[in-house]
């Protein structure tokens, strides 16, 4: 009875969510990108943990359809920035959002428009892969039939058809990554956040994920991508932002970054940008 | 190496308290509660022992033997059947370090004492020494052996249950195991309390000697060593101490073997039902709220800890009813009361409290997955509430039928339905608010599925007790109206009672849903930070 009452109070799933989600914010990112609001943005974002400033006055404006690489050393503030934008971590200062929505004013609207592949797999280990995809689809308001169709397609596409009936707790790291990616894209979000999508993934799965992301980008999905795999960043990203100690120090295209640093590839440019060092005394180890 | 492990535990405990607000609050509460309990137990022990000392010294020895045995069993079994006492070092994290198994076992035992709960056995040992001052030279070695027995026995028992829960077949019998432990404890308690009530402590101790079996019961042997030393018999004292040490070593060897198995054997997961394997969640109710509820219900079955919450508490409620029914006279003699089945919804409030009051804690790290989905906070609460309500309805139905059969009274059975709505409504109303305002972090599942820090165990007990009283207070109006209807010649029309109970439960629930939903919307990152396991 409580739940019947709740249905009438409007707490039951709203079929319109699907319609909203599957509509990209901008149909063709190349045409009216000047007038369209940024797909992802941050203004004066600050996030502190005690006395440590993890993200220090970061401004971000990612255009619809961009494949944006967020780079930085470990602890530079990439994951914190992403967590703040997707609504998992409250900023101390500044505003963040997706499209016309502020994450902290309209969290549900933002979450309906994004897919997230987190760095750590906090998935439901006691659901099967198929169940996780169904669950996610239902939570995003997809119809039962559409969810089943997409689930089967995704399991095929991610080469998980056999494993779809196994519990996620029994999956290997690569399989977890793939099922997490499937769950992140099942509702065709216009914006996709990927935190280290290639970390710990074998070459076959990495290629599969890469081609899937390229297809998504071609379809107009905005992708925010954090990775330490520089050759992939160079291959995939249309723009790169480098964070150093919580600050956004450089934002450039891969070619522009190489030019700026006077090197031939993104890896060298990145190391030059963050001031990578090599320890000069390894005597204790070298013997 | 042992010192380093103890140092590691001390450092982890200190860092935990320093960096975790919940523990900063929990530690003083835990220390106060545990010290109060320890002082109370030690005081009662000394008082009884002193009175026995003056009346019958032989009965005193037997009494002390029984106390040692009960302390051992309580220490070993309570963490599993009520709440975990201490989060120890996770052997899984030590498995790759160059530590010999013997060092690891010894280090884990020593480290397990760096916890607030140690205050209870220390106070009891202090009381023991105060009673038998003449045996001072044996107090320290025997007490150390006794402490070792407590630590090793508790670890061995938890590891055994964890090992059982690791296999599919084991999980199927785990319920019966808990039933056995709970039933055995209950019968033991009944038997002891009846004997003491009938004969008095002195006669009961004298007529049920246990010291003669001390060589077979290591905790009793440790106590026997002190008793004999106090009596001026050093040889029997040393023999008893040797027996206790042998028992300790045997338990440690068994624990070591079991730990080796746990560290090298992966958990056998439950196989999802064939239909779920084929079709995911596509069949059955669909939509945000029902799908979330179905996910929860699957976890009630697939997560061994949640399954134990649902089955274990039912067993306790059953035993509690059994206890009340067996002893009851007058108003509470259920067999004579035609309203007996109406007690079911109230008793079911005990069931599932750890889940209803910590809806997001059970998500552990997966809360970050849930919170990034676009469901409204109220939908999340509603889905989780639907699952809890479904489980409670099943348990209320079983209990109602049981009570109706037992009392042969079916007259008021229909009134159970509105009362159940009121009871579940009140429980969920309090549960939603507590879940959002004070979620508890549950430990990561390691080799010990019951591991939890004392502070958080105490916070759980405090939170559950306070919430339980709050739920009880909220239930007073519908319960009073029901009593007026069924016990006082229908002063209030039964239909009015039923309508009032339903409206009361629903109103409280909807108000709480509204408020908790708003709070969750604002506090989602904070709730996430509370429940995530590092």
Encode pLDDT of B3-42 as tens digits. Answer: 888 888 888 778 777 777 777 777 888 888 889 999 999 9
Are B521 and A107 an interchain contact pair (Cβ–Cβ within 8 Å)? yes
Higher pLDDT among residues A16 and B219, named by residue:
B219
Higher pLDDT among residues B488 and A237, named by residue:
A237
pTM value? 0.78
B273 touches chain A (CB under 8 A): no
Q: Which distant-in-sequence residues (6+ apart) come within 8 Å of B442 by Cβ?
A: B305, B358, B361, B362, B364, B452, B531, B533
Q: Is the pLDDT of residue B165 over 80?
A: no
User: Model confidence at A1, in pLDDT bands (50, 70, 90)?
Assistant: very low
Nearest to B250 by CA among B217, B213, B223, B210: B217
User: Model confidence at A6, in pLDDT bands (50, 70, 90)?
Assistant: very low
DSSP B265: S
Residues 199-258 of A with CB under 8 A from B: none
User: In chain B, what residues touch A2 (CB-CB under 8 Å)?
Assistant: 385, 389, 421, 425, 506, 509-510
Nearest Cβ partner of A88 from B278, B371, B386?
A: B371
Nearest Cβ partner of B281 from A9, A138, A170?
A: A138
A165 → chain B, closest CA residue: B277
A150 touches chain B (CB under 8 A): no
Best-predicted range by mean pLDDT (A166-175, B180-189, B297-306, B494-503): B494-503
pLDDT score of A27: 40
B522 touches chain A (CB under 8 A): no
B272 touches chain A (CB under 8 A): yes
**Mean pLDDT (whole number) for B344-351:** 77
Whole-number mean pLDDT of chain B? Answer: 83
Residue B156: how many other CB atoms lie within 10 Å: 21
Burial of residue A13, with CB atoms counted within 10 A of its CB: 0-12 exposed, 13-18 middle, 19 or more buried: buried
Are A2 and B421 an interchain contact pair (Cβ–Cβ within 8 Å)? yes
What is the tens place of the pLDDT at every residue in A213-255? 888 888 899 999 898 888 889 989 999 999 999 999 999 999 9
Are B303 and A136 an interchain contact pair (Cβ–Cβ within 8 Å)? no
pLDDT score of B376: 92
Question: At which residue do the structure tokens 């492990």 appear?
Answer: B5
Task: Count Cα atoms within 13 angstroms, Cβ side, for B470.
Answer: 19
Q: Is the pLDDT of residue B260 over 80?
A: yes
Q: Is the pLDDT of residue B149 over 90?
A: yes
Instruction: Give the tokens for residue A118.
Output: 């987190």
Alpha-helical regions (H) of B414-493? 416-437, 454-486
pLDDT score of B423: 93
Q: Is the pLDDT of residue A99 over 90?
A: yes
Are B372 and A21 an interchain contact pair (Cβ–Cβ within 8 Å)? no
A170 touches chain B (CB under 8 A): yes
Distance from CA of B292 to the nearest CA of A (A): 7
- The DSSP string of B100-133 is -HHHHHHHHHHHHTSSGGGHHHHHHHHHHHHH-G
User: Model confidence at A281, in pLDDT bands (50, 70, 90)?
Assistant: low
Rounded Cα–Cα distance for residues B365 and A122 (Å): 5
Residue to mutate among A134, A142, A185, with most B CBs inside 10 A, is: A134
Are A128 and B376 an interchain contact pair (Cβ–Cβ within 8 Å)? no
**Mean pLDDT (whole number) for B141-163:** 89
pLDDT score of A249: 93
User: In chain B, what residues touch A141 (CB-CB under 8 Å)?
Assistant: 288, 374
User: Model confidence at B276, in pLDDT bands (50, 70, 90)?
Assistant: low
pLDDT score of B339: 73
**Mean pLDDT (whole number) for B361-379:** 91
Of A139-143, A180-184, B331-335, give the lowest mean pLDDT range: B331-335
A127 touches chain B (CB under 8 A): yes
pLDDT score of A9: 40
Using DSSP, how many helices (H) and how many strands (E) does chain A show? 12, 10
Rounded Cα–Cα distance for residues A218 and A212 (Å): 10
Angle between helices B168-207 and B304-327 (to 10 degrees): 30
What is the tens place of the pLDDT at every residue in A148-183? 999 999 999 888 888 888 888 888 888 888 999 999
pLDDT score of B24: 79
Q: Is the pLDDT of residue B283 over 80?
A: no
**Mean pLDDT (whole number) for B413-431:** 92
B524 touches chain A (CB under 8 A): yes
User: Model confidence at B399, in pLDDT bands (50, 70, 90)?
Assistant: confident
User: In chain A, what residues touch B282 (CB-CB under 8 Å)?
Assistant: 134, 144, 147-148, 151
pLDDT score of A17: 31
**Mean pLDDT (whole number) for A132-155:** 92
B168 touches chain A (CB under 8 A): no
Residues 366-395 of B with CB under 8 A from A: 366-369, 371-376, 378-379, 382, 385-386, 389
Are B368 and A169 an interchain contact pair (Cβ–Cβ within 8 Å)? no
Are A118 and B369 an interchain contact pair (Cβ–Cβ within 8 Å)? yes
Q: Is the pLDDT of residue B429 over 90?
A: yes
Of B291-305, B401-415, B492-506, give the lowest mean pLDDT range: B401-415
Distance from CA of A160 to the nearest CA of B (A): 13
Residue to mutate among A138, A140, A154, A169, with most B CBs inside 10 A, is: A138
Rounded Cα–Cα distance for residues B36 and B15 (Å): 26
B520 → chain A, closest CA residue: A107
Q: Which distant-in-sequence residues (6+ apart) come within 8 Å of B421 by Cβ?
A: A1, A2, B501, B502, B505, B506
User: Model confidence at A146, in pLDDT bands (50, 70, 90)?
Assistant: very high
Are A134 and B276 an interchain contact pair (Cβ–Cβ within 8 Å)? no
DSSP B338: T
pLDDT score of B85: 45
A148 → chain B, closest CA residue: B282
pLDDT score of B57: 80
pLDDT score of A12: 38
User: Model confidence at B398, in pLDDT bands (50, 70, 90)?
Assistant: confident
- The 3-class secondary structure across B203-248, one letter per residue, is HHHHHCCCHHHHHHCHHHHHHHHHHHHHCCCHHHHHHHHHHHHHHH
pLDDT score of A185: 93
Complex-level ipTM: 0.78
Higher pLDDT among residues B94 and B293, named by residue:
B293
A49 touches chain B (CB under 8 A): no
Q: Which distant-in-sequence residues (6+ apart) come within 8 Å of B439 by Cβ?
A: B358, B359, B360, B361, B527, B530, B531
- The DSSP string of A61-78 is EE-TT-EEEEEESTTSSH
What proportion of chain B, given as a percentage, has pLDDT over 90? 32
Are A114 and B302 an interchain contact pair (Cβ–Cβ within 8 Å)? no
A185 touches chain B (CB under 8 A): no
Q: Is the pLDDT of residue B238 over 60?
A: yes
pLDDT score of B2: 80
pLDDT score of A11: 40
Alpha-helical regions (H) of A23-74? none
B501 near B482, Cβ under 8 Å?
yes
Higher pLDDT among residues B75 and B221, named by residue:
B221
Are B382 and A11 an interchain contact pair (Cβ–Cβ within 8 Å)? yes
User: Model confidence at A19, in pLDDT bands (50, 70, 90)?
Assistant: very low
The number of C-beta contacts closer than 8 angstroms across A and B is 147
User: In chain A, what residues touch B376 (CB-CB under 8 Å)?
Assistant: 11, 108
Distance from CA of B19 to the nearest CA of A (A): 10
């Amino acid at each position: 009875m409580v739940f019947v009452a709740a249905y009438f109070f409007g707490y039951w799933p709203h079929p319109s969510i699907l319609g909203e989600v599957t509509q990209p914010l901008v149909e063709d990112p190349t045409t009216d990108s000047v007038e369209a609001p940024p797909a992802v943005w941050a203004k004066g974002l600050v996030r502190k943990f005690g006395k440590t400033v993890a993200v220090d006055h970061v401004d971000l404006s990612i255009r619809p359809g961009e494949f944006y690489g967020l780079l930085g050393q470990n602890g530079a503030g990439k994951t914190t920035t992403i967590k703040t934008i997707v609504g998992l971590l409250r900023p101390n200062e500044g505003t963040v959002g997706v499209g016309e929505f502020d994450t902290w004013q309209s969290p549900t609207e933002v979450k309906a428009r994004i897919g997230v592949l987190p760095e750590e797999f906090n998935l439901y280990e006691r659901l099967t892969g198929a169940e996780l995809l169904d669950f996610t689809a239902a939570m995003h308001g997809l119809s039962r039939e559409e969810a089943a169709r997409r689930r089967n397609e995704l399991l095929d596409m991610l080469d998980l058809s056999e494993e779809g009936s196994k519990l996620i707790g029994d999956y290997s790291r690569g399989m977890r990554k793939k099922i997490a990616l499937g769950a992140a894209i099942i509702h065709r979000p216009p914006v996709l956040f990927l935190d280290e999508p290639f970390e710990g993934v074998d070459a076959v799965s990495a290629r599969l994920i890469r081609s899937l992301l390229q297809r998504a980008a071609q379809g107009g999905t905005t992708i925010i991508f954090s990775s330490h795999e520089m050759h992939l960043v160079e291959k995939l990203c249309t723009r790169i932002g480098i964070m150093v100690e919580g600050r956004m120090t450089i934002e450039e295209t891969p070619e522009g970054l190489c030019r700026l640093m006077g090197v031939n590839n993104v890896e060298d440019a990145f190391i030059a940008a963050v001031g990578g060092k090599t320890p000069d005394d390894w005597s204790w180890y070298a013997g | 190496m042992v010192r380093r492990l103890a140092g590691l535990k001390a450092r982890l405990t200190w860092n935990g308290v320093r960096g975790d607000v919940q523990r900063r609050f929990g530690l003083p509460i835990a220390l106060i509660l545990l010290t109060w309990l320890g002082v109370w137990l030690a005081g009662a022990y000394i008082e009884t022992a002193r009175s026995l000392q003056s009346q019958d010294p032989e009965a005193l020895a037997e009494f002390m033997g029984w106390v040692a045995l009960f302390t051992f069993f309580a220490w070993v079994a309570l963490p599993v059947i009520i709440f975990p006492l201490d989060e120890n070092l996770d052997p899984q994290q030590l498995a790759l370090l160059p530590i010999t198994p013997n060092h690891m076992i010894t280090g884990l035992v020593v480290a397990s004492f760096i916890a607030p709960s140690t205050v209870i056995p220390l106070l009891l040992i202090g009381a023991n020494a105060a009673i038998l001052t003449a045996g001072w030279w044996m107090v320290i070695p025997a007490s150390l052996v006794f402490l070792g027995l407590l630590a090793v026995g508790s670890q061995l028992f938890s590891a055994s249950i964890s090992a059982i829960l690791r296999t599919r077949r084991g999980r199927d019998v785990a319920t019966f195991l808990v039933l056995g432990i709970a039933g055995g404890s209950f019968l033991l308690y009944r038997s002891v309390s009846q004997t003491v009530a009938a004969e008095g402590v002195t006669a009961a101790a004298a007529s049920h000697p246990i010291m003669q079996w001390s060589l077979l019961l290591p905790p009793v042997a440790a106590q026997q060593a002190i008793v004999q030393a106090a009596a001026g018999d050093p040889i029997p004292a040393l023999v008893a101490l040797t027996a206790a040490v042998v028992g300790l070593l045997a338990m440690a060897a068994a624990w070591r073997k079991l730990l080796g198995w746990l560290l090298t054997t992966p958990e056998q997961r439950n196989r999802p039902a064939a239909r779920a394997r084929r079709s995911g969640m596509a069949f059955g109710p669909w939509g945000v709220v029902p799908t979330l509820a179905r996910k929860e219900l699957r976890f009630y079955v697939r997560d061994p800890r949640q399954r134990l919450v649902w089955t274990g508490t039912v067993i306790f409620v059953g035993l509690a009813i059994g206890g009340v029914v067996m002893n009851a006279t007058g108003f509470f003699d259920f067999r004579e009361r035609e309203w007996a089945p109406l007690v079911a919804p109230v008793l079911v409030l005990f069931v599932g409290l750890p889940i209803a009051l910590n809806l997001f804690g059970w998500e552990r790290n997966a809360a970050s997955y849930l919170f990034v989905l676009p469901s409204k906070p109220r939908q999340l609460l509603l889905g989780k509430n639907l699952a809890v309500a479904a489980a409670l309805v099943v348990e209320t139905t079983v209990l109602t039928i049981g009570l109706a059969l037992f009392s042969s009274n079916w007259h008021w059975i229909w009134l159970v339905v509105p009362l159940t709505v009121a009871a579940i409504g009140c429980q969920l109303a309090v549960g939603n608010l507590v879940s959002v305002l004070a979620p508890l972090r549950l430990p990561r599942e390691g080799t010990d599925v019951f591991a939890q820090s004392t502070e958080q165990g105490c916070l759980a007990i405090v939170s559950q007790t306070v919430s339980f009283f709050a739920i009880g207070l909220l239930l007073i109006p519908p319960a009073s109206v029901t009593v007026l209807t069924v016990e006082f010649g229908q002063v209030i029309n039964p239909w009015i009672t039923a309508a009032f109970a339903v409206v009361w439960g629903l109103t409280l629930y909807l108000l709480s849903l509204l408020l908790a939903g708003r709070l969750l919307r604002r506090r989602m990152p904070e709730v996430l930070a509370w429940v995530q396991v590092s």
